[in-house]
Amino acid sequence: MTPGSIAPNTSVLKPPEPQANEPTIERALLPHDLSPWGMFLKADIVVKAVIIGLALASLVTWTVFIAKSFELGSARGHARRALKVLAGSATLAQAAGQLGSGTDAASRLMQAVVQEIRLSADPHGEGLKERIALLLQRVELANSRRISRGTGVLATIGSTAPFVGLFGTVWGIMNSFIGISNAHTTNLAVVAPGIAQALLATALGLIAAIPAVVIYNVLARATGHYRARLGDVSAQVMRLVSRDLDRGKLRPGLAAE
């Protein structure tokens, strides 16, 4: 070193010494598996219960969707066939011969009408048409309730799943803050896994709620279309009843004159 030169400041190049009171975090104690399954296994029991409940709710949503889709598809097909039969029938007896032995909604409508005519003392009276109209209305409502059965649970899942997931998130974050207090450190490596586990509950809540709302709306529209088609079936039946009454061909046995 030449005289008058300045010695380099070697303290700047040295890494800072760890403080004596700063806690050290062993790498082996930190969680390594941050996949959804790994976070579920490491989560608190309450968060686990929330996640399992949301998974079951999602399973119920898709099960109802598949079952009701098949049911509505079959019911619409039977209603279309019944409308074709009624439109091509000249008398109620002719339509009853083709529809009276089935088990679908249109066949039940026809069976109820035939039974009412057979029980009526005067099959040509004006009161018969009113009784048949009232009977068809009740049968329509019964079939509407039956076809809508099971869709209410979708509305419940869609409205409550986000709040259930939020509860799991709040509980998990609360436990993360408790862990921070116990560990006496705010190191992100310690805090992040607990927060990630908590946010997993919110994500699953949205995964369960969004399809439930969409599927509920789809099934509601399909059910409305089916109800309208069933109303068309009732209107066609009343048309044949009125026609037979005008011609005087309506008998308890429903045989054409």
Tens digits of residue pLDDT in 209-227: 999 999 999 999 999 999 9
Q: Which domain holds residue 184?
A: 36-247
104 or 154, greater pLDDT:
154
- From its phi and psi, is residue 115 left (phi > 0), alpha (psi between -120 and 50) or beta? alpha
**What's the predicted TM-score (pTM) here?**
0.73
Query: What is the Cα–Cα distance from 16 to 19, expressed in whole angstroms?
Result: 9
> Which pLDDT belongs to residue 246?
75
Kindly state whether residue 66 falls inside one of the protein's structural domains: yes
Quick check: is 161 in a domain? Answer: yes
Distance between CA 206 and CA 52 in Å, rounded?
A: 14
Q: Does any domain span residue 9?
A: no
- State pLDDT tens for residues 21-74: 444 444 444 455 567 666 767 777 888 888 899 999 999 999 999 999 999 988
> Is 257 inside any structural domain?
no
How confident is residue 240, by pLDDT bands cut at 50, 70 and 90? confident
Among 36, 81, 55, which residue's Cα sits nearest to residue 161?
A: 55
> Which tokens in the block code for residue 110?
């026809």
CA distance 31 to 76: 54
Residue 176 lies in a domain: yes
Q: Residue 150 region, left (φ>0) first, then alpha (ψ -120 to 50), else beta?
A: left
Instruction: Report yes or no on 91 lying in a domain.
Output: yes
Residue 126 domain-assigned (yes or no): yes
Query: What pLDDT digit, counting tens, does each position of 69-101 carry?
Result: 999 988 888 888 888 988 888 888 888 888 867
Q: Write the burial class of residue 203 (CB in 10 Å: 0-12 exposed, 13-18 middle, 19+ buried).
A: middle
Q: How many independent structural domains does the chain possess? A: 1
Cβ(192)–Cβ(141) under 8 Å?
Answer: no
Is 25 part of a structural domain of the chain?
A: no
| Least trusted range by pLDDT, from 55-64, 71-80, 164-173, 184-193 | 184-193
Stretch 149-163: mean pLDDT: 90
